[in-house]
Amino acid sequence: MDDLARHNQARWDALARAGVSFSRPLLDLDADGARRLVDPHGILGEVRDKRVLCLASGGGQQLVAFALLGARATVLDFSAEQLARDREAAAHHGVTVEVVQGDMRDLSRFTDDAFDVVWHAFSISFVPDVRPVLDEVARVLSPGGYYRIEFANPFVFGVDDRSWTGEGYLLREPYVDGAELSDTTWDVWLEDGSKRQIEGPREFRHTMGALVNGLVARGFVILGLWESASPNPDAEPGTFDHFMTIVPPFLTVWAVLRPDVLSSDDLARGAVS
């Protein structure tokens, strides 16, 4: 584990201890709720007995959802605190899961074609280069397998959501792949309803080209892209809900690994060197 991983691991342990929303085990899930959580667009179909990797997805949420749907579910995350939530949720629901501590850039503990589904939580922004992660995902995923990845909208990652001027939000960061964000402070809502600022992990912007071309270069066929929307279209200006009415901050891509339908020329054109 390098210095970046150790730093971000410590920050996620602290965030989990603070009770941020990503770290709250879902103890009231049923099968319908589990389906809505991990497959809201109906991409996967039946997942019973499918081999599922929840990648960088600790916190007691997606792992237990897949297990409740009958999948053979594994989670990999580098935060011991996050993984403790997965164990808590699994014990509560009485499901069998595999919990593995590790870095998303190194899946060497898993064999080739080890999974039918890789469900990647919002975490790719915590590494400066998407290529090692995509290489590993393509290796451990079986041909015809599904890859779901959520990431920050790169066109808004440089916008300061706390900079409402009365007319708009300020664009502060250049559009450069791999550029590190200068502000790592998170405004987080805690379980008691209060809000506080916590130092978050180091984060990096990834351009749309790096992500899309990176998927194509590894034989993925993109099935669709979904954008986040504000839950409150009438939100007060300057709030994060209002910011989301101006720009969707989160994007989700579903793709299927099908190198057989792409020619070597197609793959070369999508390559990210």
- With 70 as the cut, is the pLDDT of residue 72 above it? yes
pLDDT at 30 over 80: yes
How high is the pLDDT of residue 217? 93
Residue 272 confidence (pLDDT) above 80: no
Q: What percent of the chain has pLDDT over 70?
A: 94
Q: Tens digit of pLDDT for each residue in 100-124?
A: 999 999 999 999 999 999 999 999 9
**What number of residues does the chain have?**
273
Whether the per-residue pLDDT at 149 is higher than 70: the answer is yes
Residues 162-189 have a mean pLDDT of 82
Average of per-residue pLDDT across 159-173: 81
Q: Please tell me whether residue 30 adopts helix, strand or coil conformation.
A: coil
Distances (CA, A) of 240 to 17, 36, 59, 175: 23, 24, 23, 22
CA distances from 142 to 51, 67, 114 (A): 10, 20, 7
Higher pLDDT, 64 or 200: 64
Reply yes or no on whether the pLDDT at 271 is more than 60: no
Render pLDDT for 227-263 as a digit per residue (tens, 0 to 9).
988 888 888 888 888 888 888 889 999 999 998 887 6
pLDDT of residue 229: 82
Please check whether residue 164 is in contact with residue 238, taking contact to mean a CB–CB distance below 8 angstroms.
yes
Among 30-44, 69-83, 196-210, where is mean pLDDT lowest? 196-210
Give the per-residue pLDDT at 244.
Answer: 86
Structure-token pair, residue 151: 């990431």
Q: pTM of the entire structure?
A: 0.91
> What gap in Å lies between CA 159 and CA 245, rounded to an integer?
14
4-8, 11-15, 154-158: the lowest-pLDDT one: 154-158
User: What's the chain's average pLDDT?
Assistant: 91
Let me know the angle formed at the C-alpha of 254 by 135 and 83, rounded to the nearest 5 degrees.
70
pLDDT > 90? residue 273: no
Banded pLDDT at 92 (limits 50, 70, 90):
very high
Residue 125 has pLDDT above 80, yes or no: yes
